[in-house]
Amino acid sequence: MYDTKIITANSELSLANKKVVKKITQGRLWPIHNYNLYQRYSEIYPYAVKVLKWIDENEIKMERVNVELSFSDLLEYERDKLHTGVTKERVHRAVMFYQGLQNDFYKFSFEEMPKTSMPSKYFYHHDLNLSNIVFDMNDNIKLIDPNGFWVSDMFVNRSYIVNFNSIMWKAHLTLQRLEDG
């Protein structure tokens, strides 16, 4: 039984106690080869939210992550008051996590893609905005929005680079605010 429905610009999310059904209503579909690669990725890197079932190109069922705060919340340095979940230690972890992500994408691409029929392609998350990375209630970092992962010809992950600059600036300014009390 689903208790809540969230409608975003590109999808509808139906939330139950432990799972979420995501229907893609607009934008890129998620074919099964992306799902298969994603399953392998999330086995190796458990921070990637688990997809429980691929229903079709428009619809997936995934684990529900109980979010405490997103990286976007964590690094809202301009708020009147910083989010109560902000600590220096978390900012450090966020920066390290983000920098490690791109290495994980490449390592996965170099090691796993040659085993497929798309040996020289890359597999990574294409929507790394800071709302898609969250701290859950157990203080684990999770990467959400699994259908943001797809196979690409492009070596450079534009989303990573754009958001890399954003996270570095925001981390710096948030730490400064923490130091200023």
Partner 1 sequence: MDNLYLTTGQSKFYLNEDTLTKVSNSHAWGYEAYKFYLKFAKTHRYCVPVTAWKSNYELQMKKLDIDVSVDDMLQYAGYDLHPKVTKEKIHRVILFYQQIQIDFLKFSIKHAPQGKYFYHTDLHLQNLVFTTDDDLMLIDPNSFQLTKHVVNTEYVSYFNRLMWRAHMTMERLKNV
Applying CB under 8 A, which residues contact partner 1? 91-92, 95-96, 99-100, 102-103, 106-107, 110, 154-156, 161, 164-165, 168-169, 171-172, 175, 179
Residue 48 β-bridge partners: 143
Supply 152's token pair: 């690409």
> To the nearest whole angstrom, how small is the minimum distance from the Cβ of residue 99 to partner 1?
5
**Minimum distance from residue 138 beta carbon to partner 1 (Å):** 21
> Going by DSSP bridges, is the β-strand pair 11-15/19-24 parallel, antiparallel, or unpaired?
antiparallel
Residue 3 or 179 having the CB closest to partner 1:
179
Q: How near is the Cβ of 53 to partner 1 at its closest, in Å? A: 33
Which of 6, 14, 169 is closest to 95 using CA atoms? Answer: 169
**Nearest to partner 1 of 31, 119 (CB atom):** 119
- Smallest separation, CB 109 to partner 1 (Å): 9
**Beta strands per DSSP E along the chain:** 4-7, 11-15, 19-24, 51-56, 59-63, 67-70, 122-125, 133-136, 141-143, 149-152
Whose Cβ is closer to partner 1: residue 5's or residue 158's? 158
Quick one: 49 or 95, whose CB is closer to partner 1?
95
Helix (H, G, I), strand (E, B) or coil at 70: strand
Residue in this structure with the two tokens 């958001």, named with its chain if needed:
163
Our CB check for partner 1 shows the closer of 60 and 94 to be 94
Tell me the closest approach of the beta carbon of residue 157 to partner 1, in angstroms. Answer: 9
Q: Coil, strand or helix: which one is 109?
A: helix
